[in-house]
Amino acid sequence: MSTFFIADTHFDDDALRRYENRPFSNTSEMNEAIIDRWNRIVSDDDEVYLVGDVGNTEYISKLNGTKYLIKGNHDKLSNDEYRRLGFAECYDKPIIYADFWIVSHEPVYVNRNMPYANIFGHVHNNPAYNTVSARSYCVSVDRTDFAPVSFEQIMLEVAKADEKDGV
């Protein structure tokens, strides 16, 4: 079993597709690409944390793995409704994963002196945020080739960024 993270799928959101310049002709093409890339990487035995902004929830049942939702600013249904639609659990607030990682839809402030790092989404392609740093990793689909990222890859890339920064 592996664990993966992904954010900002925004299924069926054509305005967002255009605003973020996603490389798809329409939402159908975008949805199919995300579902295909997800299911090529994730098996039914894996866990996936969708870190906010699902979009149209009819696609949840087409995605492999046990799915958890950390709600984003566009996720307006009740937690019970998200569970009914296929999430094993749904969280209104950030969670702590593996005793070190704050998993939140929006980035939170962390620095080297804190005992945490942050896995987040929300910022899409905003250049004010790095995809990876010594204390954070952005899993917005706009930065992950529209596919989930394994926890192992996140840990490896954050460790490399930490070494690069000389600490």
CB 63 within 8 A of CB 72: no
Give dist(CA 125, CA 155) in Å, integer.
21
| pLDDT for residue 162 is more than 90 | no
pLDDT value at 24 more than 60: yes
Whether residue 66 is predicted with pLDDT greater than 70 in this model: the reply is yes
Q: What is the mean pLDDT of residues 56-85?
A: 98
Q: Which of the two residues, 115 and 143, has the higher pLDDT score?
A: 143
d(CA 66, CA 165): 35
**Rounded Cα distance, 109 and 130, in Å:** 13
Q: How long, in residues, is the chain?
A: 167
Candidates 125, 128, 103, 110; CA nearest to 6 is 103
What mean pLDDT is predicted for residues 60-82? 98
Q: Give the residue among 150, 119, 121 at the shortest CA–CA distance from 136.
A: 119
Q: What is the pLDDT of residue 8?
A: 98
Contacts of 91 (CB under 8 A, 6+ apart): 68, 69, 70, 71, 79
Strands 117-120 and 101-104, sheet pairing: parallel
76 band by pLDDT with thresholds 50, 70 and 90: very high
Whether pLDDT at 108 is above 70: yes
Residue 100 has pLDDT above 70, yes or no: yes
| Contacting residues for 98 by C-beta, under 8 A, at least 6 apart | 151
Mean of the per-residue pLDDT values of the chain: 96
Q: Is the pLDDT of residue 167 over 60?
A: no
Residue 166's pLDDT is what? 57
The total of other beta-carbon atoms located within 10 Å of residue 22's CB is 22
Distance CA 117, CA 98 (A): 11
